[in-house]
Amino acid sequence: MAETLLSVRNLVVEFPTRRGTLRAIDDVSFDIRRGEVLGVVGESGAGKSITGAAIIGLIEPPGRITGGEIHLAGARIDNLSPERMRRIRGKRIGMVFQDPLTSLNPLYTIADQLIETIRTHIDLSEKAARARAIGLLDQVGIPAAARRIDDYPHHFSGGMRQRVVIALALAAEPDLVIADEPTTALDVSVQAQIIDVLKDICADRGAAVMLITHDMGVIAETADRVAVLYAGRLAEIGPVGDVIKAAEHPYTVGLMGSIPTITHEAPRLTQIPGSMPRLTSIPPGCAFNPRCEKVFARCRAERPVPLRRPGNREVACWLFAEEGADERPGVQAHG
């Protein structure tokens, strides 16, 4: 089994407000192994992007990590000073944001931005850094990279800008790449190309990718495992094929049932009633219980603990407690 690269344990992220403290991430735990793509899915507001931001140390104040630990290659990183975290960010963890225009400075050429990033983290001459930058652009599929490198961001299409952002994220050969909605607003053919680039990162370099998205089609094409978040909690995690074909948590079942397919002729798609609760009104027990068709008394009173399931899966749902599934020792509830 591949070595664990990232370990997130009992992560809690809170935002103090005038109405009280909002818990955006509530006791979330997962691992990512080297060479693996972990997909993180859920509705808008489920906590996907905040989880990524917490890992890379970019939680917007006054938000902060108030519980749990984050380990990268065995070393704890959530308690580092801003300066030490800045050295890890870019060098060991690369970030691909949803909107490439927010990641690229419109006043500087692509060459300027890539070369600066490379030389910040790697001791190279200007000439060597430029050659590396051209190689990165070529790696992510920018045609005529040696010529296009001196263009400005507005000279590129949305898909090409996203490739440039991926090249920036790879500039210092990080161990982990966090990709936050990297294919949103791109057409299907460009999505497929971006997916191929992310998969190649793992295959060629042994890096790990945390792929944050709401698009289950992208997850199915890209991820090895998938983690399903709901209201800041982990509902289910397991191999992507198992979760897609035989989801167990009622929320995941609803998500999978809402995806149209070309092979299954259903009279209508599954609809999950209601909406995800606001952070100010998370219900007691399981956060999903007001929307769940299989809810019973325990769901409304006790928060589910993570239960091991066959096939290297975990599900935070009381429906499986009577089946003798093992509870993970020493870890609090997740979903």
Q: Write the pLDDT tens digit of every residue in 48-94.
A: 999 999 999 999 899 999 999 999 999 999 999 999 998 899 899 99
Write down the pLDDT at residue 90: 86
Tell me, what's the pLDDT at 200? Answer: 83
* pLDDT tens digits along 93-109: 999 987 777 789 999 99
What is the value of pTM for the model shown?
0.89
The answer to whether the CB of 218 falls within 8 A of the CB of 31 is no
- Cβ atoms of residues 59 and 65 within 8 Å: yes
| pLDDT in the model for residue 265 | 63
Alpha-carbon torsion angle 129, 132, 134, 137, nearest 10: -120
CATH among 3.30.70.20, 3.90.79.10, 1.20.1440.230, 3.40.50.300 for 4-92+172-323: 3.40.50.300
CATH 3.40.50.300 in the chain is located at: 4-92+172-323
Element housing 202 (H / E): helix 188-205
Q: Is the distance from CB of 29 to CB of 314 less than 8 angstroms?
A: no
State the pLDDT at residue 220: 87
**Sheet with 37-41: strands ordered across:** 93-96, 176-180, 208-212, 37-41, 225-230, 233-239, 313-315, 307-309
* pLDDT tens, residue by residue, 287-323: 999 999 999 999 999 999 889 998 899 999 999 986 5
Enter the tokens of residue 332: 């609090």
Q: Within 10 A of 188 (CB to CB), how many other CB atoms are there?
A: 8
Q: What value does the mean pLDDT take over residues 224-237?
A: 96
In the predicted structure, residue 24 carries a pLDDT above the cut 50: yes
- Could you tell me if 179 and 96 are in contact, meaning their C-beta atoms sit under 8 angstroms apart? yes
CA dihedral 285, 289, 294, 295 (to 10 degrees): 50
Residue 221 has pLDDT above 90, yes or no: no
**pLDDT tens digit string along 237-277?**
999 999 999 999 999 998 887 766 656 666 666 778 889 99
